[in-house]
């Protein structure tokens, strides 16, 4: 089992398998998102309370969902990288981070664009918003750590430790923020959600969420391929520098 | 049936709905373009370096194939 | 093994006393940031009294962050970290001992300075003991969580800023529970939240005492090996 696992984790093997996967997956994502956008903008009625602002929800909720999914993928990959010393795992974690950060940013901004007409303000220190903001900080810290440590092996392991510590902390932070929120203000903000979503609204939401997720997979594969190539370029350059320097390479 | 202008006005919320969709398009589009361009660049670089490496290997001692 | 940890802690304490700097600087920074608050929000004593617990906690947090870079970095630069890592003592223990001495030289002085600074901000006298207790319980968590950030950035030149950015999100629960304990005493809000905040703060500290050295040790290994 473990042997098999490692066979699939081989970068060369991954490159071979993923080569044919990226384009079809991206295509599926494109079709789903196009359908989702059509349903979200044309094919669904405005909400009786929120009016047409409900259409922002069809991108806001999938973005928020992906911000969590990306972090989970990142943390699982980091754990795999630390425990099994997997050649692909830290490539996966590193590649997932910018995607996750982008979706977290989108979740924040679209939420703000929805909040202005609905709550009358761009930002409220609501528990969920605050948690997502902190999640965004965690992403930025992770990316900053990768960018700062130059040596890739070191950077990968340090970043993996950070991702895991962050993963353990996310629920604690979320809980503390919820607790803080209930201390300071009554939960009076109007929110959607709950089981009473009309099917006409559920369809675009689900299709968009699926489309975003499939697109995440395509982007992740593409970025992982780029990252593997980048490492190959790096080691080739080092080897050539070694040749040029009379084989001083350690 | 609603007219196109009505659709664009988004029930008076055009100033919020369209920027939201525009921003998603911008950021995700940017991410896709950046990822694709980076991938192409690395692919080119890798191909060029590997070629150079093989040429060097033919000239010199048998070059050790660099594990990826 | 325990003796190794003790000797490490006493070495760090001696170094801190001989070289000065770190802890004293943190207290000075604490003083300066607290003194700046009234200049920013105005000298209204009622307002200051109301925001005092939060302001004191935020300043304490910042002062703590400021000293993180010297937690492992000086040992990394002069090579004693390599020595510690090859000495056979478990690295988790080393990391824990370093974090503990950081608390002794930074966290504890800050807590001791806090009541004095509370006077500057017109903190209600009744809230002072609660604030002190909360800070006493919470600051070890700051040192131990901070050790993770310090360990992650140990090989980065001028890693202090990055360490602060990495650690700040992890400090948020400490801040929230710490402030709630003290401000419950200030506002005397209905529903006694103080002890519950303290208990949650204690739980955080205990968890970080156990888990943070493990993470810090892993981070050190990633950076040094």
CA distance A146 to A154: 9
What would the pLDDT profile of C43-94 be if each residue is shown by its tens digit?
A: 899 899 888 989 999 999 999 998 888 888 888 888 888 888 888 778 899 8
Same domain membership, residue A72 and residue A93: yes
Radius of gyration, CA atoms only, chain B: 25
Instruction: Please write the tens of the pLDDT for every residue from C108-129.
Output: 999 999 999 999 998 888 888 8
Provide, as residue numbers in chain B, all residues whose Cβ is less than 8 Å from the Cβ of A113. Answer: 16-17, 19-20, 23
pLDDT band, very low/low/confident/very high, at A211 (cuts 50, 70, 90): very high
Encode pLDDT of A46-79 as tens digits. 776 677 778 888 899 999 999 999 999 999 999 9
Residues A68 and A103 in one domain: yes
| A59:B20 CB<8 A | yes
Q: What is the model's pLDDT at position A190?
A: 45
B17/A233 CB distance under 8 A: no
CB C185 within 8 A of CB C130: yes
Answer whether residue A140 is part of any domain.
Answer: yes
Per the model's pLDDT, the better-predicted residue between A98 and A238 turns out to be A98
Q: Do A176 and C172 touch (CB under 8 A)?
A: yes
Residue partners of C132: CB distance under 8 A and separation at least 6: C111, C114, C115
Interchain contact A43–B (C-beta under 8 A): no
pLDDT > 70? residue A99: yes
The whole-number average pLDDT for the span A172-197 is: 64
Residue C194: its pLDDT value, please? 57
For A161, the token pair is 């430790």
A34 within a domain of the structure (yes/no): yes
- Beta-carbon separation of B53 and A53 below 8 A: no
How far apart are the C-alpha atoms of C207 and A172, rounded to whole Å? 11
A216: in domain: yes
For residue C20, the model assigns a pLDDT of 63
Q: What is the pLDDT of residue C185?
A: 67
- Angle, helices A54-84 vs A199-244, to 10°: value is 40
Both A38 and A152 in a single domain?
Answer: no
> How confident is the prediction for chain C on average, in pLDDT?
86
Residue A126: the pLDDT is 79
Nearest to A176 among C176, C189, C211 (CB): C176
A9-23, A117-131, C206-220: which is most confident: C206-220
Question: Is it the case that residue A179 has pLDDT exceeding 70?
Answer: yes
- Which domain does A208 fall in, by range? 22-44+201-221
- Please compute the mean of the pLDDT values over residues A3-30 and round it to a whole number: 79
Domain presence at residue A104? yes
All residues at 6 or more sequence positions from C22 whose CB lies less than 8 Å from its CB, including other chains: C16, C67, C70, C105, C106
**Record: contact B16-A117, CB cut-off 8 A:** yes
Confidence of residue A195 (pLDDT cuts 50, 70, 90): very low
CB-CB neighbors (< 8 A) of C163 in chain A: none
Domain count, chain A: 2
Q: Which residue has the higher pLDDT, A185 or A133?
A: A133
pLDDT digits (tens, 9 = 90+) for C125-179: 888 888 899 999 999 999 999 999 999 999 888 788 999 999 999 999 999 988 8
Query: In A, which residues are within 8 Å of B49 by CB distance?
Result: 233, 236-237, 240
3-state secondary structure of A149: coil
Residue A2 lies in a domain: no
Contact residues, chain A to chain C, C-beta under 8 Å: 82, 134, 137-138, 140-141, 144-145, 148-149, 154, 157-158, 160-162, 164-166, 168-169, 172-173, 175-177, 179-180, 183
> Residue ranges per domain, chain B?
26-56
Same-domain status, A182 and A66:
yes
Distance between CA atoms of A226 and A221, rounded to whole angstroms?
9
pLDDT at A139 over 90: yes
Q: Which residue has the tokens 């950060």?
A: A101
Q: Is C68 helix (H, G, I), strand (E, B) or coil?
A: helix
Residue A69 inside a domain? The answer is: yes
Regarding predicted confidence, which is higher, B22 or C186?
B22
Would A10 be classed as within a structural domain?
Answer: no
Which of the pair, C4 or A112, is modelled with greater confidence?
Answer: A112
pLDDT of C188 reads 57
* Number of Cβ atoms within 10 Å of the Cβ of C161: 15
Q: Dump pLDDT digits (tens) for A31-52.
A: 999 999 888 888 777 776 677 7
pLDDT band at A193 (very low <50, low <70, confident <90, very high): very low
| pLDDT tops 70 at residue A222 | yes
Which one-letter DSSP state was computed for residue A52?
T
Report CB contact under 8 Å: A233, B12. Answer: no
Asked if pLDDT for residue B2 goes beyond 60, the answer is no
Please indicate, yes or no, whether residues A213 and A179 belong to a single structural domain of this protein. no
Same domain, A69 and A174: yes
In angstroms, what separates the C-alpha of A231 from chain B's closest C-alpha?
7
DSSP β-bridge partners for residue A47:
A51
CA-to-CA distance for A28 and A38, rounded, in angstroms?
15
> Is A50 within the bounds of a domain?
no
How far apart CA B15 and CA C22 sit, in angstroms, is 52
Q: What percent of chain A is predicted at pLDDT more than 90?
A: 44
Same domain, A182 and A68: yes
Instruction: Give the pLDDT score at B61.
Output: 58
Please tell me the predicted confidence (pLDDT) of residue A56: 86
Q: What is the pLDDT of residues B4-27, one digit of tens each?
A: 777 777 777 778 888 889 999 999
Asked if residue A64 and residue A38 are part of one domain, the reply reads: no
For A233, the enclosing helix (H) or strand (E) is helix A199-244
* Lowest-confidence pick of A9-13, B52-56, C192-196: C192-196
Give the residue on B whose Cα is nearest the Cα of A226: B39
pLDDT tens for each residue of C35-52: 999 999 988 998 998 889
Predicted confidence at residue C141, as pLDDT, reads 96
pLDDT value, residue C165: 92
């Amino acid at each position: 089992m473990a042997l098999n696992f490692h066979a699939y984790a081989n970068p060369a093997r991954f490159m071979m398998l993923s080569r044919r996967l990226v384009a079809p997956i991206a295509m599926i994502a494109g079709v789903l998102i196009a359908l989702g956008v059509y349903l979200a903008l044309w094919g669904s009625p405005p909400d009786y309370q929120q009016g047409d602002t409900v259409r922002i929800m069809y991108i806001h909720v999938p973005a928020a969902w992906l911000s969590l999914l990306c972090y989970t993928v990142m943390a699982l990959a980091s754990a795999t990288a630390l425990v099994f010393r997997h050649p692909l795992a830290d490539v996966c974690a590193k590649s997932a981070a910018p995607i996750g950060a982008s979706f977290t940013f989108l979740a924040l901004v679209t939420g703000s664009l929805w909040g202005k007409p609905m709550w009358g303000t761009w930002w409220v220190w609501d528990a969920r918003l605050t948690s997502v903001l902190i999640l965004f900080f965690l992403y930025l810290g992770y990316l900053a750590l990768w960018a700062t440590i130059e040596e890739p092996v070191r950077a990968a392991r340090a970043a993996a430790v950070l991702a895991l510590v962050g993963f353990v902390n996310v629920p604690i932070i979320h809980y503390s923020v919820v607790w803080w929120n209930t201390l300071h203000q009554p939960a009076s903000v109007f929110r959607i959600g709950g089981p009473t979503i009309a099917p006409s609204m559920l369809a675009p939401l689900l299709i968009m969420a699926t489309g975003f997720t499939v697109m995440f997979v395509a982007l992740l594969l593409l970025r992982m391929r780029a990252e593997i190539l980048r490492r190959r370029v790096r080691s080739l350059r080092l080897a050539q520098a070694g040749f040029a320097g009379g084989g001083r390479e350690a | 049936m609603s007219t196109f202008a009505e659709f664009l006005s988004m029930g008076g919320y055009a100033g919020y709905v369209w920027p939201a969709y525009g921003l998603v398009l911008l950021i995700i589009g940017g991410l896709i373009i950046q990822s694709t361009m980076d991938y192409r660049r690395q692919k080119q670089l890798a191909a060029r370096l590997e070629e150079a490496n093989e040429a060097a290997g033919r000239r010199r001692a048998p070059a050790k194939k660099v594990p990826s | 093994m325990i003796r190794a940890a003790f000797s490490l802690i006493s070495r760090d304490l001696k170094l801190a006393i001989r070289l000065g700097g770190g802890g004293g600087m943190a207290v000075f920074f604490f003083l300066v940031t607290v003194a700046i608050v009234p200049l920013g929000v105005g000298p209204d004593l009622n307002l200051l009294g109301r925001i005092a617990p939060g302001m004191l906690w935020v300043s304490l947090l910042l002062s703590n962050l400021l000293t993180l870079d010297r937690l492992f970095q000086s040992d990394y630069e002069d090579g004693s970290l390599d020595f510690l890592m090859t000495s056979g003592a478990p690295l988790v223990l080393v990391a824990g001992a370093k974090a503990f001495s950081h608390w002794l030289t930074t966290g504890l002085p800050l807590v001791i300075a806090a009541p004095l600074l509370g006077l500057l901000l017109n903190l209600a006298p009744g809230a002072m003991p609660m604030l002190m207790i909360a800070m006493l319980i919470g600051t070890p968590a700051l040192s131990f969580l901070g050790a993770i950030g310090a360990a992650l950035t140990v090989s980065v030149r001028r890693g202090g800023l990055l360490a602060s950015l990495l650690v700040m999100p992890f400090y948020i629960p400490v801040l929230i529970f710490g402030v709630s304990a003290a401000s419950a005493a200030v506002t005397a809000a209905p529903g006694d939240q103080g002890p519950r905040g303290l208990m949650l703060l204690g739980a955080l500290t205990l968890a970080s005492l156990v888990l943070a050295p493990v993470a810090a040790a892993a981070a050190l290994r990633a950076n040094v090996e």
